[in-house]
Amino acid sequence: MSQVAVGVIVGDPNGIGPELIAKLLAREANTEQSLVVFGDRHLFEMGAKQAGVSSDFLEATNIDYRPMETIRPDQVTLSEMTTIAGQSTLAQLDEVLKACKDGVVGGFIFGPFNKAAMHLAGLGHDDELHYMATKLEFEGYICELNVMDTLFTSRVTSHIALKDVASTITEERILEAIELAHSVLAKSGIPSPMISVCALNPHAGDGGNFGREEIDVIGPAVDKARAQGIPVDGPWPSDTIFLRARDGRTNAVVTMYHDQGQIAMKLMGFDRGVTVQGGLPYPVTTPAHGTAFDIAGQGKADLGATKAAYDLVCTMVKGSKL
């Protein structure tokens, strides 16, 4: 059986994406994976120059390069948020999503996006995950997962106002977040994964003194997941649950809102964090950091998170085909 290819795009041309992808593709270790690379040649050449590597990687035997024309060289303005950069990003994304639907690639990694530029270009969704789901005509449960080494987090609510979190949390949403974490862990090759669920309120509600969400909503959802055979515990107070994770007593943490997990994960290793576009029918990963306009074009971008995202999507693509 032939190897399933992984897609690659650079993301926002004005950020550190071209540099990071050039560094990634120039690594000899990548020759074992079949890759399909989409985008403007001048962006890869620019990224290679920034990274101090040769752009010959586009001619590597394991790389199927698919040229695009999404932005002219004179329209690339490093460190700036522009409409044309957002249009380039969306064009790259549309092309690699089409490749997924056509069976050309089994998943992909993308360099950092700038959501504001994408909104200027007509994104039309809260974030790229919901845009991707629409393009793939996928109507199932989706949620970003964040990964630090072998620790995963999923979240019940994501890009919404903090004041709306409590009213948005339901048993169904919590159960879906647990199930998604369990599915992604399995595809990532983690045997017998353990999942822990965060409380919403201080001290896990203190028996109802500080709120009843743990008693009325979160606890029952954990019980239902356990009844399905998923190894899960909680709800645990959010100020101690990541100590359990740090000590290796759990493989994934299900949080109730965005920053509940993001703060802890980024403190644990910002330079290694990966975002998984969870729930989509194809594995999709990206480094968890942003476009880093403050260092764009300076050759300073750290490859750690991009390499981790690449390694994970390659593993997940293989796991999805088992």
Whole-number Å distance between alpha carbons of 28 and 50: 19
Please list, in sequence order, all residues whose beta carbon lies within 8 angstroms of the beta carbon of residue 312, skipping any fewer than 6 positions away: 147, 188, 274, 276, 285
Q: Are residues 127 and 188 in the same domain?
A: no
**Of 278, 293, 314, at which residue does a domain stop?**
278
| CATH classification at residue 59 | 3.40.718.10
Half-sphere exposure of residue 65: CA atoms within 13 angstroms, side-chain side: 17
Q: How many of the other CB atoms lie within 10 Å of CB of 146? A: 23
- Do residues 39 and 2 share a domain? yes
SS3 128: helix
Tell me what pLDDT residue 268 has. Answer: 84
Please tell me the predicted confidence (pLDDT) of residue 1: 41
How far the first Cα of the chain sits from its last, in Å, is: 12
Report field, pTM of the whole predicted structure over 0.85: yes
Question: Low-confidence residues of the chain, pLDDT below 50?
Answer: 1, 322
264 and 166 within one domain: yes
- Residue type for position 96: V
**Shared domain check, 286 and 182:** no
Residues 38 and 77 in one domain: yes
Output the pLDDT for position 322.
40
Say yes or no: 147 and 194 in one domain.
Answer: yes
Tabulate helix, strand, coil % of the chain (nearest 5): 50, 15, 35
126 and 28 assigned to the same domain: yes
Q: What is the pLDDT of residue 187?
A: 86
**Which of 243, 259, 278 is the last residue in one of the domains?**
278
Q: Are residues 213 and 289 in the same domain?
A: no
Residues spanned by the domain of 265: 140-278
Look at residue 175 in the predicted model and tell me its pLDDT: 97
Number of independent structural domains in the chain = 2
For residue 30, the model assigns a pLDDT of: 82
Phi, psi of 99 (to 5 degrees): -65, -35
- 153 three-class SS: strand
pLDDT in tens, 135-175: 999 999 898 999 998 899 999 998 889 999 999 999 999 99
Spatial separation of the C-alpha atoms in residues 187 and 93, rounded to whole Å: 23
CA distance 253 to 262: 11
Do 260 and 317 share a domain, yes or no?
Answer: no
pLDDT tens profile 219-265:
999 999 999 999 999 999 999 999 999 898 999 999 999 999 989 88
**Residue 5 and residue 116 share a domain:** yes
Q: Give yes or no: residues 106 and 165 share one domain.
A: no
Query: What's residue 321's pLDDT?
Result: 55
Considering the domain architecture, whether residues 23 and 91 belong to the same structural domain is answered as yes
